[in-house]
Structure 1
Amino acid sequence: MHCVLRSDDLFVIQRAKDVLEAKGITCLIKNQFASGAMGEIPPQDCIPELWLLDESWAPRAERILAELDERPQQGAWHCPQCRELNEAQFAICWNCQDSRD
């Protein structure tokens, strides 16, 4: 396994997980529910992390996540698969779960 992302913001981790899984990269979130234990265990052990199940996907996953950070803000978009309208903040179609790209 390989950690590709750490963030205090669980929504950032979940978005990255959704994007990677839409591209066929299997991953999991560690420490997803650990914030409730903060104070009982060290804070650095409570930060949500995104882990790849297969380390061989690390270069591709890191490239996808880097592109995700560099993507300019865009308006609403139509899904290339089902043509449904999606709001700008979504990278994956709400209807068919196809990627924006």
Structure 2
Amino acid sequence: MHRLTRAPNAALATLWADLLCEGGMPATVQRLYLSAVAGELPPHECLPEIWLDHVEHKERALALLEALRNLPQRRWHCPACGELVEGGFEQCWNCGALMPPL
């Protein structure tokens, strides 16, 4: 096993590990419940960690995490109601219509 990275919270750690597993890179989350002792231990030591089962997946896994951290944002007008939708939303907040393809 090889430690890949620390995540800022348990939700992201779990999401990242699941996406790595879906990408064919078996991963687990360690230190998931250590936040309870933050203060007695240094806070940065209590963050959840993503561990890879196989060190040969490290470069591909880091590339996937980097892509997840830098998803492109798109501004679009809803085809159904004309509302301007900004950010990473793929559905109109006003009427629920899906984002049109590029």
Regarding TM over 0.5, the answer is yes
Q: Aligned pair 1:57/2:57, yes or no? A: yes
Structure 2: 5+ residue runs without aligned partners?
73-87, 92-97
Q: Distance in 2 between matches of 1:64 and 1:58?
A: 10
Paired residues of 2:18 and 2:27 also in contact (CA < 8 A): no
Q: Distance in 1 between matches of 2:68 and 2:44?
A: 25
User: Which residue identity does 2:46 align to in structure 1?
Assistant: C
TM-score scaled by length of structure 1: 0.65
How many residue pairs match? The answer is 78
Paired residues of 1:17 and 1:27 also in contact (CA < 8 A): yes
Higher RCO (C-alpha 8 Å, min separation 6): 1
Q: Trace 1:1-101 onto structure 2 (pairs within 5 A).
A: 1-72=1-72, 73-76=88-91
Residues 47-97 of structure 1: per-residue CA shift (max 9 Å, x gap): 111010110100111111111122222505xxxxxxxxxx9xxxxxxxxxx
Identity %: 27
What's 1:81 paired with?
Answer: none
Paired residues of 2:5 and 2:49 also in contact (CA < 8 A): yes
